Structure 1
């Protein structure tokens, strides 16, 4: 039988495939351009994307387990719900769905609400799925390289409440473990939900202290101006997406996104090791940047 990975060439999908590599599973990856896709040896590219239901139906033929990652697009909710319905009709016995941490709380952030609505569908239809709820990705801060090195500043307006950022490698490992568990089961398994979080309370103040230590210099926090954030994102993304991200950061500043000890302990059990820390990420990046 076969595992189908959506988003296999992206940040998270590539980590999922890396963690599945060598585990003996038959792997397919959905991609718009199979001829250009850079995939691990043995992973078969399948042409299509989640906005094309006919392509999705074709890609699901012979698939027993699905990793569903829907990109942040205007019709994300529709794509997710249609794909889950098609998977159910195709007889897929297990799904791992990538949702978001605090989706049920951030009721005014569009892509959070969309993912939570998909979770409601999974529960209402009693789909055999694992829901993974990652927090803000640590690796998003690789985009801070230029401002950190050139200006000694950290520019993401994370605020002062605290975010339990998660390493994308931990997301990949968690997804792979649940995909394999469901794939190797002879029968569909009950629903599970995991919060994918890091061990740190990451505020703007805490993050600049970590970067200061890693880079050996004073780093300043760029502040909480969300208008600046929106305009910066609009330079490379659609206006609706820039506003969506602004709303997300507004909730981070107002409410934070902190995990509790039980959530961290449960993830530790799933991974087989504690979730990776932001400090280790910063140290690794500082070493790589200094070597260039």
Structure 2
């Protein structure tokens, strides 16, 4: 019996695979093509696609525990529901699903609303799963680092309410802990939801100030212009995706990514260590990490 990781080649999923391998778990990574990713020693790969039911059935045969992470896609809801449906058919009763914080509140943001639909399936069918709801990834800002350094502007329009930004390494460590907890249990465990957040709220001005301190020169916040944000994205991705992300930023400006009281403390107790801070992440990036 093994732990199947869906989303194994992405930013979070690859770290989950590595973490499980370090713990000595029997891990299988779902990949789209043979040899797609360099996997840790002992980790097996299986070729499959979330749109190909036959490949999912083959991948889930003999699987004990499932990690489901679905990247942003136009048919993300269909892919995720099918994956969980096949898992249920295969008798998998240990699941960890990566959702997003405030999936139930960002009702006009397609990929948030989609993840909430998947959560509703998990709840309505009483699937034995942990739902992880991460906030804004600190690593989102790797892509804008050249703009920050070259132009002295933090361009992500996250507004003034704030996001409990979380390091993807912490997300992966929490996912590994939950996967192992479920995998090693004698039987299926009750459904559980965790907000996965960092230790503090960071708004646009605060993010700019953090980069300014790390770089030793002024960095200003670029403001809340969503139309300009969408236009910049549209040159690098499909129009539907750029619009989806614009809607997400609009909701972040209106509501933030603010966790429930005590969320960070619960995660630190689970990990047995402090959560990584945004200042530490930025300092690492500036130092070339």
Q: Structure 2 length normalisation: TM-score?
A: 0.97
Once the two structures are superposed, the pairs formed by residues 149-168 of structure 1 within 5 Å of their partners are 149-168=149-168
Q: 2:276 matched to which residue of 1? A: 276
The separation in 2 between residues aligned to 1:276 and 1:246, in whole angstroms, is 27
The residue aligned with 2:170 is 170
Task: Indicate conservation of the 8 Å contact 1:15/1:171, yes or no.
Answer: no
Paired with 1:274 and 1:35, the residues of 2 have a C-alpha distance of: 36
- Give 3-state SS (helix, strand or coil) of 1:261's partner: coil
Q: How does 1:1-292 map to 2 (within 5 A)?
A: 1-288=1-288
Query: Could you list the per-position Cα deviations for residues 243-263 of structure 1 after superposition, in whole angstroms to 9, with x for gaps in the alignment?
Result: 000000001111111124311
Q: Return 95-104 or 271-280, whichever deviates more.
A: 271-280
Give the whole-Å Cα distance in 2 for the aligned partners of 1:229 and 1:56. Answer: 37
- Give the Å deviation of 1:36: 2.8
Paired with 1:184 and 1:83, the residues of 2 have a C-alpha distance of 22
Shift of 1:107: 1.0
The alpha carbon displacement at 1:49 in A equals: 1.6
Secondary structure, aligned partner of 2:83: helix
Give the SS at the match of 1:176. Answer: helix
Shifted more, 179-188 versus 128-137: the winner is: 179-188
Secondary structure at the counterpart of residue 104 of structure 1: coil
**8 Å CA contact retained: 2:21, 2:27:** no
Q: Distance in 2 between matches of 1:24 and 1:213?
A: 41
Residues 2 and 28 in structure 1, CA contact (< 8 A), matched pair in contact too: yes
Q: What do residues 153-209 of structure 1 show as CA deviations (whole Å, max 9, x unaligned)?
A: 111011111111111001100110111111111211111110001112111111111
Can you list the C-alpha shifts for 1:21-56, whole angstroms capped at 9, x where unaligned?
221211100011122322111111110121211111
CA distance, structure 1, for counterparts of residue 195 and residue 178 of structure 2: 13
- Structure 2 regions of 5+ residues with no counterpart? none
Q: In structure 1, list runs of 5 or more residues that go unmatched.
A: none
Per-residue deviation, 1:18:
2.0
For 1:58 and 1:85, how far apart are their aligned partners in 2? Answer: 14
Q: Is the 8 A contact 1:37 1:45 kept in 2?
A: no
What SS class does the counterpart of residue 33 from structure 2 fall into? Answer: coil
CA distance in 1, matches of 2:122, 2:260: 25
Q: TM-score, normalization: structure 1?
A: 0.96
Distance of 1:86 and 1:265 partners within structure 2 = 35
Q: 4+ residue runs of structure 1 moved beyond 4 angstroms?
A: none
1:239-291 Cα offsets, whole Å, 9 max, x none, are 111100000000111111112431112111222222211000001011117xx
Alpha-carbon RMSD across the aligned residues, in angstroms, is 1.1
CA apart distance, 1:135: 0.6
Alignment partners' CA distance in 1, 2:38 and 2:235 = 27
- Aligned residue for 1:106, secondary structure, equals coil
